């Protein structure tokens, strides 16, 4: 046989073996090398060389974070409430050699461990804790899963509970509870407002006590506000204090006797109104005031004559 043919065949085999023994790994990939079935080490990234002809074999591992969706889990909380919870787990391969040697399928194993851990943690928590302290529940689930997968070379970076599905009866009960809580807050706020307003009213009463005319002004202002409504009829009592200046006016020196009679009649009528007296008393007082009674005709004022008409000199 021609030696050149042998050399050409050997060169062809050598080139083919060299080509097949070269591997290129990306930055996020690692190659776990087995030499004759025995683990050597992990290589990469970049260009790596394997002993050809099946002496060394490589298994690529992806080191990027994987988002694992946990199917909805039906479970019962500590306070006996049936809930359905689903979550998502974020993990990555931290040690590629352990992920290949220690477990057959790390993805499936991590999924099963996450499901069982989620059910266990929810079963040990009450519904209020599950709704209000979701971050704490997420951290507990993450820590338990990370401890379980640490021997496989898997690092769990985070766990997030996506949705908590409650029964319709529980949703209605929670809606009633929330409504009652809002009503309680409204009553407390209203009571606090009344308490603060009472303090201001005390200060206002002290001012009115010092200046009684302020009460009359306030009363007149209220009358104006009520009169603004033209489509309603309002009955209100007139306080007798409004007529205090009129009733308290005495007869001055030189005043006519008729004025004193008018003041007495006015006082009698107002007192009858204030005491809720009968209509006859009120009518009699009004006639005396207006001069309509039988014996109430006033004598005309005499006109001065004679010497009274002369001017004083």
The answer to whether residue 309 is domain-embedded is no
Q: Which of 18-22, 33-37, 263-267 has the lowest mean pLDDT?
A: 263-267
Q: Cβ distance 153 to 169 under 8 Å?
A: no
Domain ranges, residue 219: 188-230
The answer to whether residue 280 is domain-embedded is yes
Judged against a pLDDT cut of 50, whether residue 4 lies above it is answered with yes
Nearest to 86 by CA among 28, 198, 161, 22: 161
d(CA 125, CA 117): 13
Q: Which pair of structure tokens corresponds to residue 86?
A: 């689903």
The alpha carbon of residue 203 and the mean position of all alpha carbons in its chain are separated, in whole angstroms, by: 35
If one compares 203 and 213, the residue with the highest pLDDT of the two is 203
Please tell me whether residues 50 and 99 are part of one structural domain.
no
Q: Cβ distance 241 to 215 under 8 Å?
A: yes
Please tell me whether residues 72 and 152 are part of one structural domain.
yes
Instruction: Spell out the SS3 assignment of 233-292.
Output: CCCCCCCHHHHHHHHCCCCCCCCCHHHHHHHHHHHHHHHHHHCCCCHHHHHHHHHHHHCC
Please report the pLDDT score of residue 264 as a whole number. Answer: 61
Please tell me whether residues 251 and 222 are part of one structural domain.
no
pLDDT-derived band at 39, boundaries 50, 70, 90: very high
Please tell me whether residues 73 and 166 are part of one structural domain.
yes
Tokens 């489509």 appear where?
231
For range 169-188, the mean pLDDT? 91
134-137: long-range contacts, CB 8 A cutoff, minimum separation 24 = 134/161, 137/161
Last residue of a domain, one of 23, 45, 61: 61
- Find the CATH number of the domain harbouring 147: 3.30.479.30
The answer to whether residue 88 is domain-embedded is yes
Please tell me whether residues 156 and 82 are part of one structural domain.
yes
The answer to whether residue 6 is domain-embedded is no
The answer to whether residue 303 is domain-embedded is no
Judged against a pLDDT cut of 50, whether residue 99 lies above it is answered with yes
The count of structural domains within the chain is: 4
The answer to whether residue 44 is domain-embedded is yes
pLDDT-derived band at 237, boundaries 50, 70, 90: low
Last residue of a domain, one of 7, 37, 61: 61
Last residue of a domain, one of 35, 61, 87: 61
Please tell me whether residues 200 and 156 are part of one structural domain.
no
For range 107-132, the mean pLDDT? 92
**Average pLDDT taken over every residue of the chain:** 79
Please report the pLDDT score of residue 105 as a whole number. Answer: 92
pLDDT-derived band at 231, boundaries 50, 70, 90: low
Please tell me whether residues 118 and 100 are part of one structural domain.
yes
Stretch (H or E) spanning 6:
helix 3-20
Tell me the per-residue pLDDT of 266-295, one tens digit each, with 9 for 90 and over: 566 556 555 555 556 556 655 555 554 444
> Greatest CA span in the chain, whole angstroms?
185
Tell me the per-residue pLDDT of 61-96, one tens digit each, with 9 for 90 and over: 999 999 999 989 899 999 888 999 999 999 999 999
Please tell me whether residues 90 and 157 are part of one structural domain.
yes
Please tell me whether residues 113 and 198 are part of one structural domain.
no
Q: Is 117 exposed, middle or buried (0-12, 13-18, 19+ CB in 10 A)?
A: buried
For range 132-153, the mean pLDDT? 93
Please tell me whether residues 222 and 250 are part of one structural domain.
no
Q: Which of 154-158, 177-181, 215-219, 235-239 has the lowest mean pLDDT?
A: 235-239
Tokens 């338990």 appear where?
144
The answer to whether residue 180 is domain-embedded is no
Please tell me whether residues 83 and 149 are part of one structural domain.
yes
Please tell me whether residues 114 and 202 are part of one structural domain.
no
Nearest to 117 by CA among 66, 79, 159: 159
Q: 248-257: b or e for each residue (b if 16 or more CB lie within 10 Å)?
A: eeeeeeeeee
The answer to whether residue 295 is domain-embedded is no
Q: Cβ distance 46 to 25 under 8 Å?
A: yes
Total-model pTM? 0.58
């Amino acid at each position: 046989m021609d030696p050149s043919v042998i050399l050409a065949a050997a060169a062809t085999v050598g080139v083919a073996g060299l080509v097949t023994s070269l591997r290129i790994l990306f930055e996020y990939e690692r190659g776990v090398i087995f030499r004759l079935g025995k683990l050597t080490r992990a290589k990469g990234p970049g260009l790596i060389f394997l002993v050809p002809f099946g002496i060394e074999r490589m298994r690529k591992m992806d080191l990027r974070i994987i988002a694992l969706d946990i199917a909805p889990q039906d479970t019962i909380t500590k306070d006996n409430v049936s809930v359905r919870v689903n979550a998502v787990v974020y993990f990555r391969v931290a040690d590629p050699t352990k992920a290949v040697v220690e477990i057959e399928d790390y993805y499936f194993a991590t999924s099963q461990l996450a499901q069982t851990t989620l059910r266990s943690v929810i079963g040990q928590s009450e519904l209020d804790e599950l709704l209000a302290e979701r971050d704490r529940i997420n951290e507990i689930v993450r820590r338990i899963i990370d401890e379980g997968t640490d021997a496989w070379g898997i690092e769990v970076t985070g766990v997030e509970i996506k949705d908590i599905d409650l029964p319709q009866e529980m949703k209605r009960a929670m809606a009633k509870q929330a409504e009652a809580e809002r009503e309680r807050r409204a009553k407390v706020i209203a009571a606090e407002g009344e308490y603060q307003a009472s303090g201001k009213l005390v200060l206002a009463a002290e001012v009115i006590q010092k200046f009684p005319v302020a009460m009359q002004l306030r009363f007149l202002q209220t009358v104006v506000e009520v009169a603004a409504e033209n489509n309603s009829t309002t009955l209100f009592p007139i306080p007798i204090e409004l007529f205090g200046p009129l009733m308290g006016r005495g007869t001055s020196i030189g005043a006519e006797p008729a004025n004193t009679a008018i003041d007495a009649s006015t006082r009698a009528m107002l007192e009858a109104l204030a005491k809720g007296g009968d209509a006859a008393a009120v009518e009699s007082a009004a006639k005396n005031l207006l001069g309509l009674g039988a014996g109430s005709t006033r004598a005309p004022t005499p006109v001065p004559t004679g010497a009274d008409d002369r001017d004083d000199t």
